[in-house]
A and B are shown apart, each in its own frame.
Chain A
């Protein structure tokens, strides 16, 4: 009788796992988020973050060593969202040196003059904004947004971020943008993802002037 019970339990667990596996495999939702400013203009480089309010059947695997490249006297990408604890690489593709620094409280660091094909790594342990600059090139500016949310996506040029294969359930949705007013972050929103597509939109109150990366002056480098 005891065997039977364990088996039954095991079967039940297996079944449960299986059923959930089967469910995740078979049932998934998509979220399309459109981000705009107060004027209704689409916002590129907005970061849409989802924090599941349940335990995911399959944990999201964080990207390994995302890059913050220095190329053509520009940072690329302009906005890089990463999960807490991510190690970001800073490869230099330019013929000249850069002196990347951050005075942000989230992560204060300085990569003193390093040349081509030299790659540095920085791990971001705390959530928050890290504004990156180059002491040599004043035009260079980029943001690393460190978040605890497991799922994140930047909006494209149309201001749209499409998050696919989401396990149905409740999520907390947050949106950030480098130009957002210091106290202008929209309040997080709880949304329910079900099978199929779902659309959300978010509106951000931006500062009139905010730091963007500009092209280096012609022939400057």
Chain B
């Protein structure tokens, strides 16, 4: 996603600012929160201690009151004499004075003698446990908490002496809201206080400084409050911290009773809210300043950049105009300078590229590209013209006598002469060809002849004058093609024709071209055919006369095309050699033959297979390596492979062919000269070749029985070959007499329809089997 630099810069600054501020605010917030929580925890602990102390103090006061009362002679007398009225008035008096809730006297049997206050409490039979009484006897006073109808009381009892214990006086106060508020007020901070009781699973609320209903609901939902000493949860939508202060005395009932102190963390944090507001304000103000600042800064940066961007846009449109960017900043002044240098550089280079694109480097003549540019308007406007490709003969040969510069000069002088004739858009098409167009009313053939005649006089090439011959192919627009590519291709086809023409020039001939096109399509079909396994081998067995066994076979290519039917090897192999497609065929043939050898060897059939090589193959110095790779891949010994080459193939470029053949021979591959007798047929040169065998062409064998001349030739050839240490195979053995003659002449191997025609693999294997059986029978 493209984004303006200005926005990017602003965004980066913003992100950085936000991150830094965010970290600051977060850490302050965290620090404050932790601090507040610690403070609240500390305050709750302090309040817990305060409440525990307050309760203890009240106990002490209560105990003192109870003891004082029990020592009062009148009270003792009243208790001793069961003077109800006096007892009641004494207790009532004490309650009023001491702000108590209950007061009572029981005799030694636990019978209530008199009471004031909540009867439900004073009548409570479990109030005075034996343990409590014993403690009061021993210590003079004892205290306990009790729960009655959901209300919590603290009760202190003391014995009434007269002078021995005659009963017990008890005083108590309720842990009600009033007390809770009192505790809250005595606490260092305004923490809230509640009194809870109940079984551990489910605490119940007795009194609280806050709304009782809310807290009761909270307790119902958070029973853990009754278990944990410290607890924290959301209460009335605020984060509250709780501390449980167990109301423990040695003599409490089984029920648990606790004071609960709690405080809202949120309330604690309120004090810091102004700080947070200040921080946020700083953040917002800073943010605004930052946006304004970064916009201003990035404007300053992007303005000169925009100039340069505009200049770059102009360059892309081909307008090389220098930038005149404002240069307050050194960086931007340098940038626009460099940019202007770059513009100059680009302009120069473009001119150079344009020149090279349109001109031949050696001669400075226009090239094909230029020609295309020139001619295309004519094609677009359908203006009739003709195109000629003119080929110079012997330029390659001249390189041996002329320097490069001289040749360039020669080409230039040819061009000069051509331009004197009525030619348009003359351009050098390749090293040895020119292309040009002709418009005009002149008779086409006259014009062409004039051009060719222009070559009668020699051309100057430096210090020498050189004769150059030329051929020319011509096409007409629009008759021969509606685009330049077609026209040039057909002009080339015409050029081919001109080479054999007496006139040295030729017009494009559509019919002739069609045949050629058919050949090309056949090669295309052949390539597909090789891939689609339409091409197969037929194997023709060779009979070893000395053993009477079939020891080898020649692999012959058979192509049955789904569209063309059976295509004779003579129809496509020479063509393939011409077009170079034969290399696909050779690749296939070597692989197929070697893999077949390997298969047969696996089946226990030891047969040497011969494959034919073409002229091209002998020029291919990579061939020996390819053969070796295949032999290794299929673990086939080289001696199982025979390669047959024709005399003419070897003669084409003897030195190169020798390199290839020597390599193959040194690898151990058996080489054979095929079709012996049809070419030079000079055994003197054949002996120079690393071949083991010659194959006498079938034209000498077919009528061997009748033709005496053939007999002499064959016989002498076999003898000569044997003398040179080579073996001889006779091809085209078709009758028994020939077999007898060849046996008589000492021929080593026979091949021909009389032994077996070339047959597919399965048939070949069957033949081998039957031949073996027959020979064994003999």
Give the interface of A toward B (CB within 8 A): 101, 103, 108, 131-135, 138, 140-141, 178, 182, 208-211
Determine if B134 and A209 form an interchain contact, defined as CB atoms under 8 angstroms apart.
yes
Q: A131-B163, A209-B137, A211-B165 are in contact. List 20 more A-B contacts (CB 8 A).
A: A103-B76, A103-B77, A103-B81, A103-B162, A103-B166, A108-B80, A108-B81, A131-B162, A131-B164, A133-B161, A133-B162, A133-B164, A134-B163, A138-B161, A140-B163, A141-B163, A178-B164, A208-B137, A209-B138, A211-B163
Nearest CB on A from B114, distance (A): 16
| Residues of B with C-beta under 8 A to A211 | 161, 163-165
In the A-B complex, list the 10 residue pairs whose CB atoms are closest, starting with the nearest.
Answer: A133-B163, A103-B80, A211-B164, A209-B137, A103-B162, A131-B164, A141-B163, A135-B73, A209-B138, A131-B163
Q: Does B108 contact A (CB under 8 A)?
A: yes
A210 and B81 CA atoms in complex are apart in Å by 21
A residues near B138, Cβ cutoff 8 Å: 208-209
Interfacial chain A residues near B164, Cβ < 8 Å:
131, 133, 141, 178, 210-211
Q: Give the distance in Å from the alpha carbon of A101 to the alpha carbon of B77 in the complex.
A: 10
Residues 156 to 173 of chain B near chain A (Cβ within 8 Å): 161-166
Inter-chain contacts of B71 with A (CB < 8 A): 138
Q: Count the B residues whose beta carbon is within 8 Å of the partner chain — how many?
A: 16
Q: In the complex, which residue of chain B has the Cβ closest to the Cβ of A212?
A: B164
Residues on A with C-beta less than 8 A from B76 are 103
Interface string of B58-73 (1 = CB under 8 A from A): 0000000000000101
Contacts of B73 in A (CB 8 A): 101, 135
Give per-residue flags for B364-407: 1 if the beta carbon is below 8 A from chain A beta carbons, else 0.
Answer: 00000000000000000000000000000000000000000000
| Cα–Cα, bound, A103→B77 (Å) | 7
User: From B71, which residue of chain A is reached at the shortest CB distance?
Assistant: A138
A132 CB, min distance to chain B CBs, angstroms: 7
Cβ < 8 Å to A, chain B residues 538-556? none
Contact residues of B between 133 and 167, Cβ < 8 Å to A: 134, 137-138, 161-166
Q: Whole-angstrom distance between the alpha carbons of A108 and B162 in the complex? A: 11
Chain A residues touching B, majority SS: loop
18 contacting pairs across A/B (C-beta < 8 A): A101-B73, A103-B76, A103-B81, A103-B166, A131-B162, A131-B163, A133-B162, A133-B164, A135-B73, A138-B71, A138-B161, A140-B163, A141-B163, A178-B164, A182-B108, A208-B138, A209-B134, A210-B164
Nearest chain A CB to B140's CB is how many angstroms away? 10
Q: For residue A138, which residues in chain B have a CB less than 8 angstroms away from its CB? A: 71, 161, 163
| B163 touches which of A108, A132, A182, A209 (Cβ 8 Å) | A132
Question: A116–B76 Cα gap in the complex (Å)?
Answer: 26
Best-surrounded residue of A103, A138, A141, A209 (most CB of chain B within 10 A)? A103
Chain A minimum-CB-distance residue to B136: A209
Query: Which of A132, A133, A140 has the most chain B CB within a 10 Å cutoff?
Result: A133
Min CB–CB distance B303 → chain A (angstroms) = 104
A142 CB to closest chain B CB, in angstroms?
9
Closest Cβ neighbor of A137 among chain B residues: B163
Q: Which of B77, B108, B134, B163 contacts A208 (CB 8 A)?
A: B134
Q: Which residue of B lies closest to A141 (CB)?
A: B163
Q: Which residue of A lies closest to B72 (CB)?
A: A135
What are the interface flags for B289-303 relative to A under an 8 Å C-beta threshold, 1 for contact and 0 otherwise?
000000000000000
CA distance A182 to B134 in the complex (A): 15
Q: How far, in whole Å, are A178 and B163 apart by their CA atoms in the complex? A: 12
A132 to B161, CA, bound (A): 11
Q: How close is B490's CB to chain A, nearest CB, in angstroms?
A: 139
Closest to B133 in A: A209
- The residues of B that contact A135 with a CB separation of less than 8 Å are 73
Residues on A with beta carbons closer than 8 Å to the beta carbon of B163: 131-134, 138, 140-141, 211
B residues in contact with A178, CB < 8 Å: 164
Q: Whole-angstrom distance between the alpha carbons of A209 and B134 in the complex? A: 8
Q: Give min CB distance, A189 to chain B, whole Å.
A: 27
Min C-beta distance of B122 to chain A, whole Å: 23
When C-beta atoms are compared, the residue in chain A nearest to B81 turns out to be A103
Within the complex, the shortest CB–CB distance from B441 to chain A, in Å, comes to 155
Give the residue name and chain of the B residue nearest to A209 (CB): B137
Provide the residues of chain A in CB contact with B80, threshold 8 Å. Answer: 103, 108
Question: In the bound complex, how far is the Cα of B73 from the Cα of A178, in angstroms?
Answer: 22
In chain B, what residue has the closest Cβ to A133? B163
Chain A residues near B108: list those with CB within 8 A: 182
Chain B hits for A132, CB < 8 A = 163
Q: Whole-angstrom distance from the CB of B347 to the nearest CB of chain A?
A: 122
| B436–chain A nearest beta-carbon distance, Å | 144
The residue in chain B whose Cβ has the minimal distance to the Cβ of A136 is: B73
Q: Give the residue name and chain of the B residue nearest to A75 (CB).
A: B163
* Chain B, range 185-233, C-beta contacts under 8 Å to A: none
B182 to chain A, nearest CB (A): 34
Residue of A nearest to B77 (CB): A103
Docked pose: A131 CA to B76 CA in angstroms: 13
A108 to B108, CA, bound (A): 18
The residues in B between 75 and 97 inclusive whose CB is less than 8 angstroms from any CB of A are 76-77, 80-81
Closest to A140 in B: B163
In angstroms, Cα B97 to Cα A219, docked, is: 32
Give Cα A140 to B71, complex, Å. Answer: 13
Nearest Cβ in chain A — how far from B586, in angstroms?
A: 127
B77 CB contacts on chain A under 8 angstroms: 101, 103
State the Cβ distance, A180 to closest chain B Cβ, in Å. 12
Q: Which residues on B sit within 8 Å (CB–CB) of A141? A: 163-164
CB distance from A79 to the nearest CB of B (A): 13
Smallest Cβ distance from A19 to chain B, in angstroms?
50
Residue of B nearest to A213 (CB): B163
Q: For the complex, what is the distance from the CA of A209 to the CA of B165, rounded to whole Å?
A: 10
**Smallest CB separation, B460 vs chain A (Å):** 153
Within the complex, the shortest CB–CB distance from A205 to chain B, in Å, comes to 15
Q: Which residues of B contact A209 (CB under 8 A)?
A: 134, 137-138
Docked CA distance A127–B654 (Å): 165
User: Residues 746-776 of chain B: 1 if any A CB is under 8 Å from the residue's CB, otherwise 0?
Assistant: 0000000000000000000000000000000
A129: nearest residue on chain B (CB-CB)? B164
Q: In the complex, what's the smallest C-beta–C-beta distance from A73 to chain B, in angstroms?
A: 13
Which chain A residue lies CB-closest to B164? Answer: A211
CA distance A171 to B710 in the complex (A): 181
